[in-house]
C-alpha cells in the first residue's frame, strides 16, 4: 500500500513552469482538506477535479505536481482555508470517521480520512494519495526558511521551497522509521501505544536516529520500548507512510530473551502472541486484540509470517 504502482513522476518536468501550466490545464487536481483527500461516496477512490473548480478558491498555495497517470497529469492542492459549517471533534485525531462535504462538490463526495479507508484504494490511487498528502503536509509545516527564518515560496511544481531572502533551497522531508517483526520461536512481539484505539495492537516501530543503521535502530527501539535484546536482524520490505511523511523499513529480528519490561511512556502494553493466537486475531476472533490495519506494512509482515513466506 502507498508505493510501487509504477507512477511516472516525470521529475524532469518540474523545473519547466510553462509545461507544468499546460499539464495543469489538461489534468486533474486532488483537493486535500486538513490532510483528508476528497474521496468518492461508494468506492472511496480519490476524486480529481478541474484546476478551475470552485473548491480551489480556498487554496493558499499552488498545486503540487504528482506525475503522469494513465488518465492524465495528476496534481494535489491544499484547500484547508475552507471552513465547514460544522467541524467534528474527531478531525485531526488518530481515528477520524467524519466526512466533510463541500457545497460545491456534489454526489456525496467528501473529505475523508485516508487511514480509515486503507483497504479500499487501488495501488495507483494509494501512491497518488501518499505523495500528495506527504508533500502538502511538508509545505504546511515548512513555511519559513530553516537558514534565515524568512518566508519561503513553493518552487519546482511543489518539490522545492526557495527562500527569497537568502536563496536557500529546501526539499521535501521523509523520516526513516523501522518497524519490526520480532519473533521468539513460535511467538511474535506485539505492543500498543497509549494513544491508540481500544484493543489495537501492532508491531513495534520507531524512528532511525542520525548516524544509526537500520539494524541498530531495530535493536535499540525494541530494547528501549520492551526490554528485549535482539540478535540477528534482516531487512524485508518498505512502505511509504504519509502520516505525515515517513518511510517504513520492515525488518525481522530474532529475540534473545522472553521477559518484557515496557517503557510506559512509549507503550501501554506489550506481549508475546503465538502463531495460533495471531491467526485468530487476524480473523477478528480475538476481541481484546484488534489486528493491524489492512494496507499497513505491519499487517503485511504479520500475514507473511503466518504463511511462513517471509523469504
Q: How far is it, in rounded angstroms, from Cα 128 to Cα 122?
A: 10
Q: How far is CA 232 from the centre of its chain?
A: 28
* Ordered alpha helix ranges (H), 142-272: 214-226
Q: What mean pLDDT is predicted for residues 104-130?
A: 91
Quote the pLDDT of residue 257. Answer: 95
Q: Residue 3 pLDDT > 80, yes or no?
A: no
Q: What is the pLDDT of residues 266-304, one digit of tens each?
A: 999 999 999 999 999 999 888 889 888 888 999 999 999
Judge: domain 175-306, CATH 3.90.79.10.
Answer: yes
Quote the pLDDT of residue 112. Answer: 94
Quote the pLDDT of residue 284. Answer: 87
- Split at pLDDT 50, 70, 90, the class of 97 is confident
- 251 or 108: which leads in pLDDT: 251
- 34 or 116: which leads in pLDDT: 34
Q: What mean pLDDT is predicted for residues 194-202?
A: 90
Per cent of the chain over pLDDT 90 is 83
Query: Do the beta carbons of residue 260 and residue 227 sit within 8 Å?
Result: yes
Q: What is the pLDDT of residues 221-255, one digit of tens each?
A: 999 999 999 999 999 999 999 988 999 999 999 99
Quote the pLDDT of residue 106. Answer: 82
Quote the pLDDT of residue 87. Answer: 80
pTM (two decimals): 0.91
- Split at pLDDT 50, 70, 90, the class of 74 is very high
Q: Residue 86 pLDDT > 80, yes or no?
A: no
Quote the pLDDT of residue 138. Answer: 96
Quote the pLDDT of residue 172. Answer: 96
Q: What mean pLDDT is predicted for residues 131-145?
A: 96
Quote the pLDDT of residue 95. Answer: 78
Which three-class secondary structure string do you get for 222-258? HHHHHCCCEEEEEEEEEEEECCCCEEEEEEEEEECCC
Quote the pLDDT of residue 195. Answer: 87
Q: Is 116 helix (H, G, I), strand (E, B) or coil?
A: helix
DSSP secondary structure letter of residue 290: B
Q: Residue 17 pLDDT > 90, yes or no?
A: yes
Q: What is the pLDDT of residues 50-72, one digit of tens each?
A: 999 999 999 989 999 999 999 99
Q: What mean pLDDT is predicted for residues 183-210?
A: 95
Amino acid at each position: 500500500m502507498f508505493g510501487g504502482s509504477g507512477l511516472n513522476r516525470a521529475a524532469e518536468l518540474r523545473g519547466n513552469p510553462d509545461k507544468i501550466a499546460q499539464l495543469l490545464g489538461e489534468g486533474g487536481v486532488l483537493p486535500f482538506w486538513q490532510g483528508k483527500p476528497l474521496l468518492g461516496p461508494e468506492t472511496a477512490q480519490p476524486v480529481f477535479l478541474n484546476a478551475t473548480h470552485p473548491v480551489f478558491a480556498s487554496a493558499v498555495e499552488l498545486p503540487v505536481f504528482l506525475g503522469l497517470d494513465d488518465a492524465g497529469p495528476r496534481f494535489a492542492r491544499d484547500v484547508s482555508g475552507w471552513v465547514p459549517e460544522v467541524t467534528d471533534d474527531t478531525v485531526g485525531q488518530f481515528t477520524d470517521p467524519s466526512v466533510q462535504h463541500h457545497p460545491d462538490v456534489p454526489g456525496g463526495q467528501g473529505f475523508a480520512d485516508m487511514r480509515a479507508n486503507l483497504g479500499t484504494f487501488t495501488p495507483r490511487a494509494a501512491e497518488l494519495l501518499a505523495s500528495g498528502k506527504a508533500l502538502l503536509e511538508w509545505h504546511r509545516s515548512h513555511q519559513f526558511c530553516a537558514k534565515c527564518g524568512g518566508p519561503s515560496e513553493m518552487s519546482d511544481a511543489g518539490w522545492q521551497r526557495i527562500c527569497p531572502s537568502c536563496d536557500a533551497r529546501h526539499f521535501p522531508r521523509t523520516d526513516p522509521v523501522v518497524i519490526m517483526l520480532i519473533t521468539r520461536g513460535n511467538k511474535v512481539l506485539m505492543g500498543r501505544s497509549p494513544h491508540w484505539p481500544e484493543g489495537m495492537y501492532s508491531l513495534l516501530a520507531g524512528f532511525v536516529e542520525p548516524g544509526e543503521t537500520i539494524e541498530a535502530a531495530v535493536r535499540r527501539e525494541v530494547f528501549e520500548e520492551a526490554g528485549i535484546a535482539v540478535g540477528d536482524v534482516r531487512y524485508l520490505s518498505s512502505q511509504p507512510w504519509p502520516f505525515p511523511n515517513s518511510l517504513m523499513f520492515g525488518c525481522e529480528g530474532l529475540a534473545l530473551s522472553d521477559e518484557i519490561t515496557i517503557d510506559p511512556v512509549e507503550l501501554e502494553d506489550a506481549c508475546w502472541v503465538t502463531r495460533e493466537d495471531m491467526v485468530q486475531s487476524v480473523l477478528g476472533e480475538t476481541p481484546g486484540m484488534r489486528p493491524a490495519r489492512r494496507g499497513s506494512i505491519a499487517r503485511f509482515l504479520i500475514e507473511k509470517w503466518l504463511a511462513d513466506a517471509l523469504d
